Amino acid sequence: MRNAGRGTSILLLASSFGLACSSEDDSQATTLATTVGSGPTTVADDGGSGDADGDGGTGESGVDPSADSSGGNDGESSDPTHDPTTEGGTCDFDMTAAIRLTVDVSWEAGIAVLEGGGAIDIWLLADLDANGGDVAVSGRVCRIALPDFQTGLLAGNETYGTMFPDAIWNSASMPTIDATASISSMDPGATLHLERGAVVLGGEMADPLNDAWPSDWHSLATADHDGDGAPGVTAVAKTGGNYAYPRIDILNSNARAQQLYLVSRTILEFDGMIDSCDDASGAATISMENHNVGCATVGGGSCSDGQTTTLDNNLPQFIIDGGSFELVRLSDAASCDDVFAALP
């Protein structure tokens, strides 16, 4: 079995990262993200029974009809793990897994931003290690996809989009996932619960689960988790087609950002079901918050303090409308490419 073996909790699971999203928090929103890498532990867990950063699926293990009742099997298995069950016939949850989180969000109109909605998708590569009713979870983020948004007439009727390059999640300083889930039994149909936990990406908080999220980006302690020399985690502005670089000066339409430096916090809790020995699914209760803490201008310069604040103040404030998760068994040697294949 794979072992990520680094510190941090899954929230983020999702990392978190890039968006400022919360149904109850008025703090500034932006794009999301969540955990990975091998860096410092920035996750908090409030205890309890456990805590639960684009595609190859799996099949059931084949059984030779000539096998005797003692369980012998000379046939080949279509399951990459060859046998997802224990000798007692229940599931073996020692596995490598692909996890996909989908978070439905919406946002209200602002001074520059039009009302809209979309989804945040987070792909994770995780190792599960079962010990009775507890399942230790460790792993990393493979990809995060964020919704685009449009501006109104005041800001030029433009379309903005940001993305996190897949390569940043391989940074040695990126926080990893480290959590514990609880299951009611080792059989299909069992319930699965990931206790509420939190992760901070691109920054540091003394108590990520309980500390108040600051309303001003200046109050955040930043961390260069993607190792690029800039504060926070760097998101890149989408280009081509109808996309425009985000404006950083209301009065000067030529002043624009090509990179955004983000700090985000994701708080996550899972409640789902073991659908089979190879997969699970259910609801994810999620809150997300973040700030833009800096940016790089088109042309390569650094944004001023005022330009950073303008960008932070004019990103959409996301409202969480719901969340779900899917988990699928992979082979022990699986990579992020296998995650994308299993859960496109």
Mean pLDDT of 115-137: 93
Q: Kindly state whether residue 201 falls inside one of the protein's structural domains.
A: yes
Asked if 107 and 117 count as a contact pair (C-beta separation under 8 A), the reply is: yes
Average pLDDT over all residues of the chain: 79
The two structure tokens encoding residue 344: 């496109």
pLDDT in tens, 57-90: 333 333 343 334 333 344 333 444 444 544 334 8
3-state secondary structure of 213: coil
φ, ψ dihedrals at 211, nearest 5°: -65, 145
Q: Kindly state whether residue 337 falls inside one of the protein's structural domains.
A: yes
- Residue 320 is predicted with a pLDDT of 93
With cut-offs at 50, 70 and 90, classify the pLDDT of residue 227: very high
φ, ψ dihedrals at 247, nearest 5°: -75, 145
pLDDT in tens, 34-65: 322 333 333 334 444 333 333 333 333 333 43
Q: Kindly state whether residue 144 falls inside one of the protein's structural domains.
A: yes
Q: Kindly state whether residue 254 falls inside one of the protein's structural domains.
A: no
Asked if 199 and 35 count as a contact pair (C-beta separation under 8 A), the reply is: yes
Asked if 53 and 140 count as a contact pair (C-beta separation under 8 A), the reply is: yes
Q: Looking at the whole model, is its pTM more than 0.85?
A: no
Residue 207: CB atoms within 10 Å: 10
Structural domain that includes position 116: 17-58+92-212+263-289+317-342
Q: Kindly state whether residue 222 falls inside one of the protein's structural domains.
A: no
Q: Kindly state whether residue 285 falls inside one of the protein's structural domains.
A: yes
Q: Which of residues 155 and 47 earns the better pLDDT score?
A: 155
DSSP assignment of 262-289? EEEEEEEEEEEEEEETTEEEEEEEEEEE
CA 302 to chain centre: 28
Q: Kindly state whether residue 277 falls inside one of the protein's structural domains.
A: yes
Q: What percent of the chain has pLDDT over 70?
A: 74
Q: Kindly state whether residue 121 falls inside one of the protein's structural domains.
A: yes
Provide the domain count of the chain: 1
Which ranges in the chain belong to alpha helices (H)? Answer: 305-313, 336-342
- Residue 132 is predicted with a pLDDT of 83
How far the first Cα of the chain sits from its last, in Å, is 23
Mean pLDDT of 293-317: 94
Asked if 284 and 21 count as a contact pair (C-beta separation under 8 A), the reply is: no
The two structure tokens encoding residue 73: 């099997």
Tell the residue number behind the tokens 């009742």, with chain if given. 69
